[in-house]
Structure 1
Amino acid sequence: MSATTITIHNTGNPASSAANERAWLTNPTNARQASFHIVVDEKEAVECLPLNENAWHSGDGSAAKSGNRTSIGVEICESGNYAKTLDNAAALVASMLKERGWGTERLRRHYDWSGKICPRLMYDSGKWTGWTAFKALVQAHMNEGGDELSVDKASIVINGCKARDGVIIDGSVYVPLREVAEKLGAAIAWDNVTKTASVTIKGAK
């Protein structure tokens, strides 16, 4: 396969790690014809197939221009600290884009190929706000290192200290929530059931 895009998925399994998802591919009881290239969780990324080999992840058949034939499939786990997992996935995807000289316009959802609601945790009742935020996080990682990229950036200053740049998309500024919270001395938590990120500042009412 000579990939032209990278396709993002959620695993659909709130209790499974990257290692477990990799093991599922070769489990003798698994009779499904499905596969993916990379799976990411809060601790690691596991490459399951060579990135120049077809994987069956897009649900759109085997035509020459199908996602299965042209796109690298990246699965994002839903278990554990999902905010950390998302940041790990965004960092990985950013490095893959930069290696290839691509921008975030090369990113695809599983939904773009076959209409399946995936990555499901980015769906937000059809508004896909999670997808927009994920692309912004990828772009923020791509901005690191001083590369000259065609993107509107926002300088972020917290209590007089410079933080990682945010990005401006459609008039809104997207920032890395974990970094902002930590610089404010706040605790951040992710509720994987309600898909809610909570920031708590000590002493605040």
Structure 2
Amino acid sequence: MKYSQIIKKHLPINKKRTGKKLDCQYITIHNTGNPKSTADSERRYLENPENTNATGWHIVIGGKEAIEAIPISEVAYHAGTSAGNNTSIGIEICDSAGLAAEKNAIELVASLLIQKGWGIEKLKTHKDWSGKYCPHIILPRWNQFKNDIAAEITKQKAEQGTTVEKNIKEIEVFDKAGRSLGILKIEL
């Protein structure tokens, strides 16, 4: 799923969507933290009258659809810090959709990075900004997730006929106890 395929259901201007211009420098990855939600239910929750906080996000990705609630050119309060909110696009990945949502996220984030002329060094986690353990599902394999996005960038550029730089795949290696032994780099 590429950015051009998302559903745009923008919030009206309010405390979740202020309309302030985003100084876009990064993309921040989150997991929704809700094991039963879909992209549509996450979007509907933003307008639920009982949801009175200012927290929002730009795009939520499920197994079947991705929805943009706040334009990626505007600030969204998702990162827990002013720096994160004012400089990054917030992407929520639905817990409930598992690997299908992650696959869609990898494709969508890769297409955004290509659109902006960026590489995976522009990816951040919620934890990078505020210390919150998020994206809780992806954090244990964050390096692999980024490498999957890098591979998807290469694939999408090849499909577009764009020149692709040399591709280096980094694989995080673990011992039997689950402790990281380091990064193995492989030239593809």
Q: Which range, TM-score by smaller chain? A: 0.7 to 0.9
Higher relative contact order (Cα pairs below 8 Å, separated by 6+ residues): 2
More strand by share: 1
Shift of 1:151: 4.5
Residue number among 125, 148, 151 corresponding to 2:163 in the alignment: 148
Which residue of 2 is the match for residue 69 of structure 1?
86
The residue correspondences of 1:186-205 to structure 2 (distance < 5 A) are none
1:3 shift after superposition: 0.5
8 A Cα contact 1:110 1:117, kept in partner: yes
Counterpart position of 1:106: 122
Following TM superposition, by how much is the alpha carbon of 1:172 offset from its aligned partner in structure 2, in angstroms? 5.2
Among residues 50, 56, 71, which one is paired with 1:29 in the alignment?
Answer: 50
For 1:75-86, list aligned pairs within 5 A. 75-80=92-97, 82-86=98-102
CA drift of 1:136 comes to: 1.0
| TM, length-normalised to structure 2 | 0.75
The reply on whether 1:97 has 2:116 as its aligned counterpart is no
Distance 2:47 2:94 in 1: 18
Instruction: Extract unaligned runs of 5+ from structure 2.
Output: 1-21, 172-182
**Structure 1 or 2: larger helix share?**
2
Aligned-pair identity in percent equals 43
Query: How many aligned positions are there?
Result: 152
Q: How does 1:42-61 map to 2 (within 5 A)?
A: 42-60=63-81
User: Alpha carbon RMSD of aligned pairs, Å?
Assistant: 1.9
Secondary structure at 2:67 match in 1: strand
What is the CA–CA distance in structure 1 between the aligned matches of 2:101 and 2:68, rounded to whole Å?
15
Counterparts of 1:138 and 1:118, CA distance in 2: 18
- What corresponds to 2:148 in structure 1? 137
Stretches (4+) displaced over 4 A = none
How far did residue 133 of structure 1 move? 1.3
> Normalising by the residue count of structure 1, what TM-score does the alignment of the two structures yield?
0.69
How far apart in 2 are the matches of 1:100 and 1:28?
35
CA distance in 1, matches of 2:63, 2:55: 23
Whichever residue aligns with residue 29 of structure 2, its letter is I
Structure 1 unmatched ranges of 5 or more:
125-129, 154-166, 174-205
